[in-house]
């Protein structure tokens, strides 16, 4: 394990490596987006090359697709897959009921579509992503560019009647221009601080004209693999109601994951 890796990177590595063990030969696997998911894709690539693992991956973004192909993973579309056995993705936050906030990487729409088209969704995360109540991480909302200012105003008006602590909204930027998703849309980040009723908020946001999707993943995730920087990990299975604690030996050698973009 490279000394250059941060404690958070080591925790992500641990969770991703353990989750990769849950992938079985012949599976159709949804591949998430973000730094933690990139650790997973690299590990699955190793398993394809070194262990003969045969899987087909459905990426949730163009950058994940590019990485998967570079790692030797067969990439197919969701249309070609039809349905997925498993999706593994990161999260910006998760609570005790495994409800999530996702979209920090800007791919929430494809991530939610792929997750919902899977028999099972596993989240991989470091322990810092666990919260008692969602909302500390700004909630991403994907909106169409046409009339986005009006959509933003409608969202801000909605938030007044919602059980949230903050009401600030911001258009996500990429340098001097608005950030644009793979689908050509914008993202508003809602600084809510605390979300009292995540399901109610998710439903209300999606009723606003111009809103494509929001980053609240409610009742979608089945299992979370939580990694720690010392190699400890927890597998929490909501369906079984179990928490399994394990220890993963961190390799001494320089690993191949240090060049993953944050």
Q: Is 183 a catalytic residue?
A: no
End-to-end Cα spacing for the chain: 17
The reply to whether 77 sits in an annotated binding site is no
The reply to whether 87 sits in an annotated binding site is no
Half-sphere exposure of 98 (CA within 13 A, CB side): 24
The reply to whether 62 sits in an annotated binding site is no
The reply to whether 32 sits in an annotated binding site is no
Please state, in angstroms and rounded to a whole number, the distance separating the CA atoms of residues 67 and 255: 17
The reply to whether 128 sits in an annotated binding site is no
Q: Which of 71, 111, 142, 213 is catalytic?
A: 111
Radius of gyration of the chain (CA): 18
Please state, in angstroms and rounded to a whole number, the distance separating the CA atoms of residues 20 and 34: 16
Determine if residue 249 is left, alpha or beta; phi over 0 gives left, psi from -120 to 50 gives alpha, anything else beta: beta
The reply to whether 129 sits in an annotated binding site is yes
The reply to whether 227 sits in an annotated binding site is no
The reply to whether 153 sits in an annotated binding site is no
| Phi, psi dihedrals of residue 90, rounded to the nearest 5° | -85, -175
Binding positions: 33-36, 89-92, 102-105, 129
Annotated catalytic sites, by residue? 111
Binding positions for substrate: 33-36, 89-92, 102-105, 129
């Amino acid at each position: 394990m490279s000394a250059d890796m941060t404690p958070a990177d080591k925790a992500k590595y641990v969770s991703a490596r353990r989750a990769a063990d849950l992938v079985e030969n012949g599976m159709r696997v949804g591949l998430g987006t973000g730094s933690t998911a990139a650790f997973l894709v690299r590990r699955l690539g190793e398993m394809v090359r070194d262990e003969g693992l045969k899987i087909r991956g459905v990426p949730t973004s163009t950058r994940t697709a590019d990485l998967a192909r570079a790692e030797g993973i067969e990439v197919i579309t969701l249309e070609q897959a039809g349905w997925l056995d498993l999706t593994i993705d990161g999260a910006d936050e998760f609570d005790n009921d495994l409800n999530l906030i996702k979209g920090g990487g800007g791919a929430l729409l494809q991530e939610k579509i792929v997750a919902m088209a899977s028999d099972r969704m596993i989240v991989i995360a470091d322990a810092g992503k666990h919260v008692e109540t969602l909302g500390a991480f700004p909630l991403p909302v994907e909106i169409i560019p046409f009339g986005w200012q009006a959509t933003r105003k409608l969202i801000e008006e909605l938030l007044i009647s919602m059980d949230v602590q903050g009401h600030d909204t911001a258009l996500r930027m990429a340098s001097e221009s608005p950030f644009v998703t793979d689908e050509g849309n914008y993202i508003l980040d809602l600084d809510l601080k605390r979300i009292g009723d995540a399901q109610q908020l998710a439903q209300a946001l999606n009723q606003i004209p111009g809103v494509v999707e929001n980053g609240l993943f409610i009742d979608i995730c089945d299992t979370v693999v939580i990694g720690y920087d010392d190699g400890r990990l927890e597998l929490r299975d909501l369906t079984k109601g179990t928490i399994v604690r394990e220890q993963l030996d961190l390799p001494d050698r320089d690993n191949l994951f240090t060049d993953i973009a944050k």
